[in-house]
């Protein structure tokens, strides 16, 4: 599998229709995170951009995944293949039975 950075440009004005899709978008991303298809999902503080790192076999598969996003028809995106993506993994503390 290859890694891809998806840079999604959000419209300057968030229409009512787009705002109503946000819960469905978050649920879809949560599902893709659980499947390890999406590795990270980040929103700019000014809400102008989203960045998504996802795993796919080809750029076409990455494009197909992004096109399934509920907000896809309201945004524009650019896909860049990554050489690597480092991140901190959350490690749960070891449980003690004492």
- Whether residue 34 lies inside any domain: the answer is yes
Q: What is the DSSP string of 2-71?
A: EEEEEEEEPPSS--HHHHHHHHHHHHHHHHHHHTTSEEEEEE-TTSSEEEEEEEESSHHHHHHHHHTSTT
Q: What is the CATH number of the domain that holds 52?
A: 3.30.70.1060
pLDDT band at 89 (very low <50, low <70, confident <90, very high): confident
Rounded CA-CA distance 49/61 in Å is 22
10 pLDDT more than 70: yes
- Whether residue 93 lies inside any domain: the answer is no
Residue ranges making up the domain that contains 74 = 2-82
pTM of the predicted model as reported, rounded to 2 decimal places: 0.85
- Whether residue 53 lies inside any domain: the answer is yes
């Amino acid at each position: 599998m290859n890694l891809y950075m998806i840079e999604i440009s959000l419209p300057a004005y968030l229409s009512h229709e787009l705002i109503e899709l946000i819960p469905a978008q978050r649920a879809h991303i949560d599902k893709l995170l659980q499947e390890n298809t999406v590795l990270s999902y980040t929103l700019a503080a000014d809400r102008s951009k989203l960045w998504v790192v996802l795993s796919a076999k080809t750029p076409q598969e990455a494009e197909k995944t992004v096109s399934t996003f509920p907000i896809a028809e309201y945004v524009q995106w650019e896909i860049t293949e990554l050489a690597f993506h480092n991140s901190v993994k959350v490690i749960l503390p070891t449980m003690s039975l004492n």
